[in-house]
Amino acid sequence: MGGLRGRILLLFAVMLIVTLAAAALSLRIAGTEGSLTGFVALAFLLLAVLTAAWFVLDQAVAQAVDRLAAALRVHAHNDAAPPLDGGIAGHLGDLGDAAEVVTRELDRARRRTADLIASETRALCAERARLTDILTEIPVATILAGDNHTIALYDGQAAEVLAQIGTPRLNAPLSDYFTEDSLARARRQMHKTGLGIVATLDGVHGALSLTARMKPMRQGGYLILIDAADATIAPDADRPLVYDFDLLTRRETAALENRRLHDMTFCVFDLETTGLLPHRDAVLQIGALRVMNGRVLAGERFDLVVDPGRPIPPASTKVHHITDAMVRGQPDILEAAPRFHDFARDTVLVAHNAPFDLAFLKAKQTETGLDWTHPVIDTVLLSAILFGTTETHTLDAVCTRLGITIPAELRHTALGDAHATAEALCRMLPMLEGRGIDTFGAYLDAARRHGRLIQDMN
């Protein structure tokens, strides 16, 4: 127990010790017979009185201060925070009403600012939609790579090309898809000429071989263009444009503990299962999204129903509504787990109650040959760090606290719960930074202080 509550508890403990020491000294000086009995009676009386006083002060003041502080942090870092209830301040007098007024005015100022930028945002979205439409009509898959040879942009046609080799994802090394020999040969030729070139890129594991045009960009990085005819691209596929231009200049060399949370790539996931026991029950569905630069990447998601190889208990179906008919003919865990592992490569895994979900994945390590050694962030621990261990930390409670709405039809679906967890992560990261917890190492230190609540999986 830390913060104000801990200091109040320490104050009352010191008061008890000092009072008992003074009483013992006075009884010793008086030399009264039966002083020991009197001292013990006095000690119990003082303990009862001070404990009652501490309990009242803790409930009426300390916990109210913690709740009010947490609510103010939510409003400071979250545009969609629910309205602050002045009654949350309990017996703190006018402080709750004052906080309600401040947050209401803050919300009004934000709305005014939002109105000013809304038209510009709509214009940018319209331009992006036009660009996506244009790229879709051009039968060329487009990939933009940074000088560190990781992907900073890919269009829907490129996503189809990459999907024939692995999972398309931002910030992934090109060598995850094409052999290092063919990439190095092409880069040498491109840098030698300083102009665009035509090169052959060989897929890893002999997946395919493609003819690509490569051109250096003036602001850094290089463009890779692949003819759709060579890549077997479906003409009517949904083709979102996925990009993050910050990746063109980012150089991540710090040790894991020193990396800024905002700059890390997260894979937020959830599982639906036949039951609650990893050694006996099985995975039914895996849902995941990737988060980068504090936002969910709309074009990068994983949603897969898994055949458990056994009947689904009716009690389990009542929760997630997955039936035996829905899983029939779907991949089993030996096929599904490697596909998800590829999607989560080079990320920090994030889950709500991570020990539960990871236990199911690790239970199949021997059969799948996969090593789940990713760094892990648990949003239960994030909630405990920000709101205190006395609050409720279920996914529903966290979402309510942060102003996140989970559509009823998506609750207890793997992708729906993963999306809610990802939104919660995006809203809690700025709050962590506001408390000075801005690196992965700082998160670990804070999380391990809450080890009694839930196991840290790192």
What is the chain's pLDDT, residue by residue, as a tens digit (458 residues)?
A: 556 566 667 777 777 777 777 666 666 666 655 566 766 766 777 777 777 777 777 777 777 777 777 777 787 777 777 777 766 766 666 677 777 777 777 777 767 776 666 666 676 677 666 766 666 666 688 999 998 899 999 988 899 899 989 899 999 999 999 999 999 999 999 988 878 899 999 999 887 889 999 999 888 889 999 886 666 665 555 567 888 888 887 776 778 999 999 999 999 999 999 999 999 999 999 999 999 988 999 889 999 999 999 999 999 999 999 999 999 999 999 999 999 999 999 999 999 999 999 999 999 999 999 999 999 999 999 999 999 888 899 999 999 999 898 888 888 899 999 999 999 999 999 999 988 999 999 999 999 888 777 888 88
Whole-number Å distance between alpha carbons of 444 and 30: 55
Q: Which residues of 321-335 are buried (b: 16+ CB within 10 A; e: fewer)?
A: ebeeeebeeebbbee
Question: Looking at domain 138-246, does it have CATH number 3.30.450.20?
Answer: yes
Give the per-residue pLDDT at 5.
64
- Residue 231 confidence (pLDDT): 63
Q: Which residues pair with residue 291 across a beta bridge?
A: 266, 296
pLDDT value of residue 90: 66
Residue 195 pLDDT: 81
Owner of token pair 């009517």: 236
Cβ burial of 205 (10 Å; 0-12, 13-18, 19+) is: exposed
DSSP 310: S
| Cβ(275)–Cβ(316) below 8 Å | yes
Alpha carbon distance 331, 337 (integer Å)? 10
The neighbour count for residue 23, using CB atoms within 10 Å, is 16
- pLDDT value at residue 6: 67
Domain pair 138-246 / 256-448, same fold? no
User: What pLDDT is recorded for position 291?
Assistant: 97
Q: What is the pTM of this model?
A: 0.77
pLDDT for the residue 348? 97
| pLDDT at residue number 186 | 94
**HSE, side-chain direction, 13 A CA sphere, residue 273:** 18
Helices (H), 166-223: 180-193
Q: How far apart are CA 282 and CA 310, in angstroms?
A: 9
pLDDT at position 312: 96
Question: Residue 88 carries which side chain, given as an amino acid letter?
Answer: I
Rounded Cα gap, residues 12 and 47, in angstroms? 10
Q: Could you tell me the residue ranges of all domains in the chain?
A: 3-107, 138-246, 256-448
- Give the C-alpha distances (Å, rounded to integers) separating 319 from 270, 274, 396: 14, 10, 15
Domain over 256-448 is classified CATH 3.40.50.720: no
Rounded to 5°, angle at Cα 192 from 189 and 198: 35
pLDDT at 105: 73
